[in-house]
Every structure is written in C-alpha cells, then in structure tokens.
Amino acid sequence: NAGVTQTPKFQVLKTGQSMTLQCAQDMNHNSMYWYRQDPGMGLRLIYYSASEGTTDKGEVPNGYNVSRLNKREFSLRLESAAPSQTSVYFCASVTGTGIFLTAKNIQYFGAGTRLSVL
C-alpha cells in the first residue's frame, strides 16, 4: 500500500520555467491538499480539493494552479516559476467525506517535492 506518492522528489528550475508536481493516492480518499513548507513558516495551504472535480484556494494560491484529474490524482502547476516559490511541497489526502474537517479526519502526507527556483 503506497499511500500518497509525489513525483518528482527533487527539481531545479530557472525563473520563468513551468512544471507540474504530481500527486497520487491509493486510499480512495475524497479530499486532497497541497501545502508548501518553508523554514520558519510552517505548512501553508496552497489549494485543496474536497472531491473529484472541485478545487478551492487556500492561504497562498498566487502563482499556482491545480487539477483534480480523477479521485486518485491531484496535480499542482507552476506556470512561471519564481525564486519565491523555492520550497518543499507536500500533498496530502484526507479520510472522511465533505469539505469540513473534524477530529475524525486524518491527513496522510506524501514525502514531498523539494523545488529550487534559480
């Protein structure tokens, strides 16, 4: 059981380049999330998807787009990378149904993608 798989694990981009971070989960969860983790900033929510076909902005969506391709996959796209987007990106899938989180919901995180934008 792989859980949440993120690809690639590492990536170096030049300013202005584009790329897509891939995330897939095999736990049949409805909700999926994209976070970024920066030193001294903690985890910040970029976008989330409560179900297949729906996506919504989180705290820091500027410069990103997402696609919930199907129930398993949730991708994050940087159209024109900037040095401020250098970060570690985590995808998570969440147990339960619906948009609202409760104490019963468990978030399962992938191992992350380490992105450097030069």
**Chain residues that interact with other proteins, rule: CB under 8 A:** 4, 33, 40-45, 48, 50, 56, 58-59, 90, 92, 99-103, 106-107, 109-112
Report in angstroms how near the CB of residue 15 gets to other proteins at its nearest: 26
The nearer residue to other proteins, 26 or 59, going by C-beta atoms, is: 59
Q: Which two tokens stand for residue 101?
A: 């989180």
Would strands 19-25 and 4-7 be described as parallel, antiparallel, or unpaired?
Answer: antiparallel
**Smaller CB distance to other proteins: residue 67 or 107?**
107
> Of 76, 103, 102, 106, whose CA–CA distance to 3 is shortest?
106
* Nearer to other proteins among residue 50 and residue 66 (C-beta): 50
Residue 46 CB coordination number (10 Å): 23
Among residues 23, 32, 48, which one has the least CA distance to residue 113?
A: 23
CA distances to 41, 45, 54, 103, 111 from 31, rounded to whole Å, are 24, 13, 10, 15, 18
Residue 25 CB, nearest distance to other proteins (Å)? 12
Tell the smallest beta-carbon distance from residue 16 to other proteins (Å).
28
Cβ 91 to other proteins, closest distance in Å? 8
